[in-house]
Amino acid sequence: MSETFYDVMRRQGITRRSFLKYCSLTASALGLGPAFAPTIAAAMETKPRIPVLWLHGLECTCCSESFIRSAHPLAKDVVLSMISLDYDDTIMAAAGHEAEAIIEEIIEKYDGNYILAVEGNPPLDEDGMYCIIGGKPFVEQLRKAAEHCKAIISWGSCASWGCVQAARPNPTRATPVHKVPGLAAKPIIKVPGCPPIAEVMTAVITYILTFERFPQLDRQGRPLMFYSQRIHDKCYRRPHFDAGQFVEHWDDEAARKGYCLYKMGCKGPTTYNACSTVRWNGGLSFPIQAGHGCIGCSEDGFWDKGSFYDRVTDTHQFGIEANADKVGIAAAGTVGAAAAAHLAVTAIKQAQHKGDQDQ
Amino acid sequence: MQTEINTGAVYVYEAPVRVWHWVNALSITLLAITGYLIAHPLPTLPGEASDHFLMGTIRFVHFAAAYIFAVGFLGRIYWAMVGNRYSRQLFKLPLLHRKFWKDLLHEVRWYAFLEKEPKKYVGHNPLAHLFMVAIITVGGAVMLLTGFALYAEQTGLGSWQDSLFGWLIPLVGQSQDVRLWHHWGMWVIVVFVMLHVYVAIREDIVSRQSLISTMISGWRTFKDDRP
């Protein structure tokens, strides 16, 4: 356990030059400035690896898929070895009882010192029977692991908000990590997205390892460095929005010219994530660049906010699927007609009244 | 024709209240129109993005009018503290007075053509009073809170708008939900304005007191001397 991150990297054949490059790149990705590259390097050289328990609840493994595709050439090797990923049922070699034994071992050996990374969330109904891991409800595994961990990372929208399995009517009562009753009060960092961007995931882990604390979080527990601005704020199509140039149909001239997708229901203006700056697949592209609006996958309850192609949420409280504009126009029309009718009656009454007075 | 008898005229709306009313009327009109156009932008413009700034201009008008509305709202609260008794009506509802409910019923019956004659009021009639508090005071506050919370999204984390109003977004749910409520609020106010304008003109003609001229001169005059 005295092995440092640097030892592991060297053992894996990573040169010191590559290692330093990684440190400076990570420093700039975290918005720390070049002065912090040596800090990161020093941390990597001297600090023992922090063990990570990576648990999976109700989820689709898209977070893991994203994570192992981190485009940074070293990220997947370095981060994967660096964090001493002792347990991750999707990518570890062990299976069955052996695998489950690892959890117990980590909890005992590193009591209060390991990071608990949660992908997915536990269903609470029927005592958690809708998600069984190694013969026990996932929620029990989660509670136990949380009890002894140092801090919790909620990977993706499932762990952060609930995501698709928690969408109305949420039949299994899938519950995001921070709302699980009886969970030990440990610091939780949310890294939402369906999935989160790979570079965001590796950068968050690197930060935690280097500084032994969470990066600065916003009101909802998301790291500010990646979730402090909306997609809209840094969107490369923003000038078209300000100019009033919009795609009106998927196949129109404006779509070909790359105008703003606001009218096509793009949720960029209401979504906090780093897609428009970090982008995906090694900075290659992101949904809006590919010509499709943002669906707001990193926002709370995004499945329940109406169509992906409509920015105005349908309001279900009124019994029918109504949206604010339909009801508003109907109400204004009704009130207008009522006022006109009222006016007519008033005129008649006034005429009668006048007639009465004249007599 | 009924002749106006100016005996017993009362100075109801002091100058700051009148100025606030008309500034509010203008800012609400601008806010509703530009707000609708932000939710449903005009047909797309051709050419280069650098050739136009239509959406930017519409949003600028919305935010400028919103600031005027906000400053007016704060000014109106101040005037409720230093102004005459009628200036406080917007912030006080006499819900515990039997007379308020009796008069409210009478006013409803008057609008339903069940009463031959309306009562005379120096300030707001009870029905108007109720609506003013619900829509202008409470509704205005809701629009200010949701509006500034949304505005804080672009001024950014750490801005004063964010410090003062940013908490509202996670409270309501997420950004899209705040937009929904802000949008509903617009329609509530639009319907209120329609009713307000119609009723003000109607009452000015058929009631026993002045309405529109009062909001211009400040003086409430009565058309007869009966109680």
pLDDT in tens, A261-272: 999 999 999 999
**Residue ranges per structural domain of chain B:** 5-42+52-222
- In this prediction, residue A25 carries a pLDDT of 77
From chain A, pick out residues whose CB is under 8 angstroms from the CB of B174.
270, 299-301, 305
- In this prediction, residue A236 carries a pLDDT of 95
With 50 as the cut, is the pLDDT of residue B1 above it?
no
* Residue among B155, B176, B184, B206 with most chain A CBs within 10 A, to mutate: B176
Per-residue pLDDT band for A2 (boundaries 50, 70, 90) equals low
Q: Phi and psi of A260, rounded to 5°?
A: -65, 140
From chain B, pick out residues whose CB is under 8 angstroms from the CB of A272.
175
pLDDT in tens, B20-76: 999 999 999 999 999 999 999 999 999 999 999 999 999 999 999 999 999 999 999
Contact assignment for B49 to A228 by CB distance below 8 Å: no
Residues A298-323, mean pLDDT to the nearest whole number: 76
Tell me the C-alpha distance between A6 and A14, whole Å: 9
The CATH H-level (homologous superfamily) assignment of domain A5-227 is NADH:ubiquinone oxidoreductase-like, 20kDa subunit (3.40.50.700)
Is the pLDDT higher at A351 or at A259? Answer: A259
- The winner for highest mean pLDDT among A23-32, A68-77, A98-107 is A98-107
Contact assignment for A244 to B46 by CB distance below 8 Å: no
Q: Where are the alpha helices (DSSP H) in B83-133?
A: 98-111, 126-131
The count of other CB atoms within 10 Å of the CB of residue A213 is 10
With 60 as the cut, is the pLDDT of residue A73 above it?
no
Q: Phi and psi of B226, rounded to 5°?
A: -70, 155
The three-class DSSP label of residue A247 is coil
From chain A, pick out residues whose CB is under 8 angstroms from the CB of B195.
335, 339
Q: How far is B217 from chain A (nearest CA, A)?
A: 26
Residue with tokens 């916003």: A218
With 60 as the cut, is the pLDDT of residue A1 above it?
no
With 70 as the cut, is the pLDDT of residue A333 above it?
yes
Contact assignment for B176 to A219 by CB distance below 8 Å: no
Peptide linkage before A196 cis (omega within 30 of 0): no
The answer to whether the beta carbons of residues B47 and B96 sit under 8 Å apart is no
Query: CATH: 3.40.710.10, 1.20.950.20, 3.20.20.70, 3.30.830.10. Which one for B5-42+52-222?
Result: 1.20.950.20
With 80 as the cut, is the pLDDT of residue A238 above it?
yes
Q: In the CATH hierarchy, which top-level class contains the domain A231-313?
A: few secondary structures
With 80 as the cut, is the pLDDT of residue A32 above it?
no
Q: Which pair of tokens denotes residue A140?
A: 């029990």
With 80 as the cut, is the pLDDT of residue A29 above it?
no
Q: How far is A176 from chain B (nearest CA, A)?
A: 14
Closest chain B CA to residue A271: B175
pTM: predicted TM-score of the whole model, two decimal places:
0.87
Q: Phi and psi of A19, rounded to 5°?
A: -60, -45
Average pLDDT, chain B: 91
pLDDT in tens, A104-154: 888 898 888 888 999 999 999 999 999 998 889 999 999 999 999 999 999
A349 touches chain B (CB under 8 A): yes
- In this prediction, residue A222 carries a pLDDT of 95
With 70 as the cut, is the pLDDT of residue A315 above it?
no
Residue with tokens 């993005």: B49
From chain B, pick out residues whose CB is under 8 angstroms from the CB of A245.
44-47, 49, 52
Q: How far is CA A309 from its chain centroid?
A: 20
Per-residue pLDDT band for A78 (boundaries 50, 70, 90) equals low
- In this prediction, residue A212 carries a pLDDT of 81
- In this prediction, residue A274 carries a pLDDT of 93
The answer to whether the beta carbons of residues B75 and B84 sit under 8 Å apart is no
Q: In which residue ranges of chain A is CATH 4.10.480.10 found? A: 231-313
- In this prediction, residue A177 carries a pLDDT of 95
Task: Return the biggest CA–CA distance within chain B.
Answer: 69
Of the ranges A171-175, A179-183, A310-314, B222-226, which one carries the lowest mean pLDDT score? A310-314
With 70 as the cut, is the pLDDT of residue A229 above it?
yes
From chain A, pick out residues whose CB is under 8 angstroms from the CB of B41.
244, 246, 262-263
Per-residue pLDDT band for B188 (boundaries 50, 70, 90) equals very high
Compute the count of residue pairs across chains A and B with CB atoms less than 8 Å apart.
130
**Position A111: which residue type?**
D
A28 touches chain B (CB under 8 A): no
Q: Where are the alpha helices (DSSP H) in chain A?
A: 5-11, 16-29, 37-46, 62-67, 75-82, 96-109, 125-128, 138-148, 156-160, 198-211, 224-227, 238-243, 253-257, 275-278, 324-358
B183 closest CA partner among A225, A87, A352, A311: A311
- In this prediction, residue A357 carries a pLDDT of 65
Contact assignment for B176 to A343 by CB distance below 8 Å: no
Task: Return the biggest CA–CA distance within chain A.
Answer: 112
Tell me the C-alpha distance between B149 and A219, whole Å: 13
Per-residue pLDDT band for B7 (boundaries 50, 70, 90) equals low
Is the pLDDT higher at A318 or at B176? Answer: B176
Contact assignment for B49 to A242 by CB distance below 8 Å: yes
Q: Which pair of tokens denotes residue A94?
A: 């062990």
Q: How far is CA A195 from its chain centroid?
A: 7
Residue with tokens 């409800």: A137
